[in-house]
């Protein structure tokens, strides 16, 4: 089999790339190692920047997002027992964010791909990439009981943090920046009314908590826990009482439909390209979830990659492919900074002394009272402008 762009991974990055290339008449094959049910059921991100919504709209895959997504114009920051509203739209000249489950966006993208009749291969095993520094890289895997090979002009590594693309790059060709945080998030999805119409980010002496949602009847709640915490130690009662204590206000409980623990890390691999392999999304970088940026950053990478590939396949040369990594990393590092900043500001560190605790509370208090500081938060939270 032969294609122009071999795409490894059917997460938001790979599926969006496939759709945007299709709209530009560029061929691709998407190779995914999990089942359709698995990727459509994986509960993860939920918050889309304004630019992400615009990108999905331009890609023609946002009809349901516009019908069912919840547009948010503000959020609440809670610390010292009080909540402070941040008016995102007023601070950013009218921008907003939208709550729409990542798995819903993935379902919409899978449906668009299948409707186009173009290849999206689930449950491929033993996926490997070869000859990355040649003009004819190729992908091998086993699918439907047979060994397969796809010859490509370009391979897009959209296979997430644990994928095979980044490790296929010779170690000496990459510089890795990595930070693991000394805490994790326990996340639940519950059939209960959200505690307020907007998200609540809470800093409490015992740890961070976040109240978000998926609809007016489904709540998504997170609380800071230990990185090696065992879910068995978290009874439903303990989860609800911890959330109530940290979030304040009235929090209705309900049946817990899903729970899981997510580790927190900041990670960047530079450059995001090796020969004809281009990394996009979590394959190249991870942010701690506090700033809600992972999926948005994946979408931003794809925009840059599409522009570069469009020029390349139109015979306009490799200049934009050559600048792909630098263009992406410019945003990646700004988003890393914001995600790190939100994380360290709102979480409890066991090794912080009373001085550091007071400095953080002072920073939050300053933030809540300063239009300049709130504007900085708001412009990062709704999404920095794209490079083009």
Determine which one of 95, 204, 285, 293 is catalytic.
293
**200 vs 309 by CB, closer to ligand DHB:** 200
Residue owning tokens 């939920």: 46
**Which of ligand FAD, ligand DHB, none has residue 12 at its interface (CB below 5 to 8 Å by kind)?**
ligand FAD
Tell me if residue 293 is catalytic: yes
Tell me if residue 381 is catalytic: yes
Tell me if residue 289 is catalytic: yes
Site string for ligand FAD, 46-85 (x = CB under 6 A): xx--------------------------------------
Interaction between residue 220 and ligand FAD (CB under 6 A): no
CB of 244 to ligand DHB, least distance (A): 19
Structure tokens at 163: 């994928």
Tell me if residue 73 is catalytic: no
**210 vs 283 by CB, closer to ligand DHB:** 210
**Which of ligand FAD, ligand DHB, none has residue 88 at its interface (CB below 5 to 8 Å by kind)?**
none
Whole-angstrom distance, CA of residue 8 vs CA of residue 272: 15
Among 11, 160, 289, 383, binds ligand DHB (CB under 6 A): 289
**Which of ligand DHB, ligand FAD, none has residue 160 at its interface (CB below 5 to 8 Å by kind)?**
ligand FAD
**47 vs 284 by CB, closer to ligand DHB:** 47
Backbone torsions φ then ψ of 152, nearest 5 degrees: -130, 165
Among 187, 194, 288, 383, binds ligand FAD (CB under 6 A): 187
Q: Contacts by 145-153 with C-beta closer than 8 Å and gap 24+? A: 148/1, 148/124, 149/1, 150/1, 150/2, 150/3, 150/6, 150/29, 150/31, 151/1, 151/2, 151/3, 152/2, 152/3, 152/4, 152/5, 152/6, 152/276, 153/4, 153/5, 153/276, 153/312, 153/313
Stretch that binds ligand DHB, among 39-47, 56-64, 240-248, 346-354 (CB under 6 A): 39-47
Interaction between residue 52 and ligand DHB (CB under 6 A): no
How many CA atoms are closer than 13 Å to the CA of 112, on its beta-carbon side? 26
Q: What is the DSSP string of 216-277?
A: SSEEEEEEEE-TT--GGG--HHHHHHHHHHHH-S------EEEEEEEEEEEEEEE-SEETTE
Catalytic site positions:
72, 201, 289, 293, 381
């Amino acid at each position: 089999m032969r294609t122009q762009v071999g795409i490894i991974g059917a997460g938001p990055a790979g599926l969006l790339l496939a759709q945007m290339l299709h709209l530009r008449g560029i061929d691709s094959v998407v190779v995914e190692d999990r089942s359709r049910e698995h990727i459509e059921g994986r509960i993860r991100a939920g918050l889309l920047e304004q630019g992400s919504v615009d990108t999905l709209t331009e890609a023609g895959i946002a009809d349901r997002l516009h019908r069912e997504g919840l547009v948010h114009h503000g959020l609440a920051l809670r610390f010292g027992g009080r909540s402070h509203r941040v008016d995102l739209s007023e601070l950013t000249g009218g921008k907003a964010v939208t709550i729409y489950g990542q798995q819903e966006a993935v379902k919409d993208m899978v449906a668009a791909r299948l409707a186009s009749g173009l290849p999206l291969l689930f449950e491929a095993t033993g996926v490997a990439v070869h000859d990355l520094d040649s003009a004819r890289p190729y992908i091998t895997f086993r699918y439907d009981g047979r060994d397969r090979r796809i010859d490509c002009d370009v391979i897009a590594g959209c296979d997430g943090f644990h994928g095979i693309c980044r490790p296929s790059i010779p170690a000496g060709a990459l510089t890795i920046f990595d930070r693991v945080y000394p805490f994790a998030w326990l996340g639940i999805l519950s059939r209960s009314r959200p505690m307020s119409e907007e998200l609540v980010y809470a800093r409490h002496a015992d740890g961070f908590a976040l109240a978000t949602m998926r609809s007016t009847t489904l709540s998504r709640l997170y609380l800071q826990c230990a990185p090696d915490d065992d879910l068995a130690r978290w009874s439903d009662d303990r989860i609800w009482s911890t959330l109530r204590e940290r979030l304040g206000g009235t929090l209705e409980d309900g049946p817990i439909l899903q729970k899981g623990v997510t580790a927190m890390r900041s990670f960047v691999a530079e450059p995001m390209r090796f020969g004809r392999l281009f990394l996009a999304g979590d394959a190249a970088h991870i942010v701690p979830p506090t700033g809600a940026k992972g999926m948005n950053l994946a979408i931003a990478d794809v925009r840059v990659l599409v522009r570069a590939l469009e020029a390349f396949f139109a015979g306009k040369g490799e200049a934009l492919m050559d600048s792909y990594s630098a263009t992406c990393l410019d945003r990646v590092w700004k988003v890393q900074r914001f995600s790190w900043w939100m994380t360290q500001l709102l979480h409890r560190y066991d090794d912080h002394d009373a001085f550091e605790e007071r400095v953080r509370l002072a920073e939050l208090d300053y933030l809540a009272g300063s239009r300049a500081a709130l504007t900085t938060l708001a412009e990062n939270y709704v999404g920095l402008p794209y490079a083009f």
